[in-house]
């Protein structure tokens, strides 16, 4: 692979992997990683890169055995593997891409809690979670507090005004419909918070009552479906800001967001859906007509046989899902036929992504 300096003194290559890239000397200089430049315990820079010579140039470079050895005009030098250079140039991440799914699994992503101390197995669970936005774990325990212990395998708990964890059990004068025996259609939790909780874990202590089955829907898959099949509805849903609101005697929480939120590249970012809590702000009636039709379509897709996955969470099982992508719900249950008790908590995306990067880097 041939590198050469172009007329500006930038390092370029005619190799296919480096096509269109020309490398500024400072970009590579501030990536030098030996002990002179980085603390070898925490990999943090030992100098201020803003104070490097802005006119720095490449002095020498040589390619040997898939490594680039390089020297700069400020007498610094270093070595880069071509692979690491390609990863840096393309901003490659080891986090797997999302894979949209429908209700047509041959096998569900169910993992055995007793094997999670095996790093490879744990890493597989985390990769699967990134792809699908959910995993199910069995053989945990039926003890209270299991959800906290499980969550802390990934990172810190996101405490809310419901506490460090919440008990999903039917109770009188509940401050959320989750704490009744009513059926709850597919929704994302807490869209009224800033930011929304990233990941939810729900652990089943007991599910003896008739009813109370669980459902999950991939908001990403539904968004992709609408983009192709109902582009006008997709447009309305990705551009109309909606108010979400939670009210109880202690606090009023409010936040705005789109039912399907896109990033600055117009790629899917997240879903929000909670028919119990949403209020579209004032808009022209003709725009609202379009919005209400699109929301209705979205609702029916979320509850459709094509997209909604249904299963039963039995005692000792838990499910972990990306609350910004995968919607969850449950069927109504009859409190007179048996006890139903789930415990839930939230963690941040940092926890699962960070753990996966750590595991993949060490394996
Ligand atoms: Fe919920």
Convert the pLDDT of each residue in 231-266 to its tens digit: 999 999 999 999 999 999 999 999 999 999 999 999
CA–centroid distance, 329 to ligand 1, in Å, is 7
Q: Is the dihedral of CA 90, 91, 94, 95 positive or negative?
A: negative
| Cα Rg, the chain, nearest whole Å | 25
Summarize pLDDT for 18-68 with one digit per residue, the tens. 777 899 999 999 999 999 999 999 999 999 999 999 999 999 999 999 999
Is residue 150 within 8 A of residue 342, CB to CB? The reply is no
Cα–ligand 1 centroid distance for 277 (angstroms): 12
Domain ranges of the chain: 3-89, 110-362
CA of residue 88 to ligand 1 center, whole Å: 39
Share of the chain above pLDDT 70, in %: 100
Band of residue 340 on the pLDDT scale cut at 50, 70, 90: very high
Q: How many angstroms separate the alpha carbon of residue 10 from the centre of ligand 1?
A: 53
Residue 15: what pLDDT?
78
**Any alpha helices (H) in 42-118, and if so which ranges?**
82-89
Mean pLDDT of the chain: 94
Is residue 228 helix, strand or coil? helix
- Could you tell me the distance, in angstroms and rounded to a whole number, from the CA of residue 190 to the centre of ligand 1? 8
- Strand-pairing partners, residue 5, are 11
Beta strand 214-218 with 309-311 is: antiparallel
Topology of the domain comprising 110-362: Double-stranded beta-helix (3.60.130)
The fold adopted by the segment(s) 3-89 is: NE0471 N-terminal domain-like (3.30.2020)
pLDDT at 19: 77
CA of 328 to the centre of ligand 1 (A): 6
What is the CA(342)–ligand 1 centre distance, in A? Answer: 11
CB 298 within 8 A of CB 273: yes
178 C-alpha to ligand 1 centroid (Å): 6
Which residues of 73-129 form beta strands (DSSP E)?
A: 77-81, 110-112
Which pLDDT score, from 0 to 100, does residue 1 have?
61
pLDDT at 274 over 90: yes
pLDDT at 177: 83
CA of 327 to the centre of ligand 1 (A): 8
Cα of 177 from ligand 1 centre, angstroms: 9
CA 192 – ligand 1 centroid, Å:
13
Alpha carbons 78 and 71: distance in angstroms, whole number:
7
Instruction: Compute the distance from residue 163 Cα to the ligand 1 centre, in Å.
Output: 15
Distance, CA 208 to ligand 1 centroid (Å)? 20
How far, in Å, from the CA of 70 to the mean position of ligand 1? 54
**Cα of 244 to ligand 1 centre, how many Å?**
14
Cα of 287 vs centre of ligand 1, distance in Å, is: 29
**Per-residue pLDDT band at 314 (split at 50, 70, 90):** very high
Q: How far apart are the CA of 276 and the centre of ligand 1, in A? A: 11
Please choose, from the candidates 72, 124, 130, 81, the residue with its C-alpha nearest in 3D space to the C-alpha of residue 101.
Answer: 130
Residue 124 in this model has a pLDDT that exceeds 90: yes
Residue, of 179 and 230, whose pLDDT is higher: 230
* pLDDT above 80 for 110: yes
* CA 179 to centroid of ligand 1, rounded, Å: 10
CA of 347 to the centre of ligand 1 (A): 14
CA distances from 176 to 182, 259, 331 (A): 11, 21, 16
Q: What is the CA(124)–ligand 1 centre distance, in A?
A: 26
Q: How many angstroms separate the alpha carbon of residue 223 from the centre of ligand 1?
A: 20
Most distant pair of Cα atoms in the chain: their distance: 81
Same fold, 3-89 and 110-362: no
């Amino acid at each position: 692979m041939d590198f050469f300096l172009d007329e500006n003194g930038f390092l370029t290559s005619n190799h296919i992997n480096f096509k269109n890239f020309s490398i500024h000397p400072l970009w590579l200089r501030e990536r030098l990683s030996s002990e002179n430049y980085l603390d070898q315990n925490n990999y943090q820079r030992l100098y201020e890169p803003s104070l490097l010579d802005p006119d720095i140039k490449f002095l020498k470079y040589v390619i040997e055995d898939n490594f680039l050895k390089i020297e700069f005009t400020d007498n610094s030098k270093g070595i880069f593997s071509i692979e690491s250079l390609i990863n840096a140039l393309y901003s490659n991440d080891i986090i797997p891409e999302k894979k949209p799914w429908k209700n047509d699994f041959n096998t569900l992503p169910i993992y055995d809690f007793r094997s999670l101390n095996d790093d490879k197995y744990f890493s597989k669970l985390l990769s699967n979670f990134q792809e699908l936005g959910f995993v199910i774990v069995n053989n945990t325990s039926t003890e209270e507090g299991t959800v906290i212990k499980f969550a802390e395998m990934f990172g810190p708990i996101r405490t809310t005004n419901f506490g460090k964890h919440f008990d999903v059990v039917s109770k009188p004068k509940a401050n959320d419909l989750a704490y009744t025996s009513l059926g709850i259609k597919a929704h994302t939790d807490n869209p009224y918070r800033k930011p929304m909780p990233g990941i939810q874990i729900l652990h089943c202590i007991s599910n003896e009552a008739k009813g109370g089955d669980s459902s999950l829907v991939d908001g990403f898959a539904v968004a992709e479906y609408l983009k192709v099949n109902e582009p006008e509805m997709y447009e309305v849903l990705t551009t109309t800001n909606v108010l979400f609101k939670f009210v109880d005697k202690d606090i009023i929480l409010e936040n705005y967001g789109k039912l399907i939120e896109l990033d600055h590249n117009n790629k899917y970012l997240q879903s929000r859906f909670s028919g119990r809590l949403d209020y579209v702000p004032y808009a022209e009636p003709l725009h609202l007509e379009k919005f209400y039709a699109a929301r209705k379509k979205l609702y029916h897709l979320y509850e459709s046989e094509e997209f909604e996955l249904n299963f039963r969470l039995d005692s000792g099982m838990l499910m972990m899902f990306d609350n910004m992508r995968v919607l969850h719900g449950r069927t109504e249950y009859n409190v007179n036929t048996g006890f139903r008790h789930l415990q839930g908590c939230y963690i941040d995306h940092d926890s699962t992504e960070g753990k996966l990067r750590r595991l993949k880097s060490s394996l």
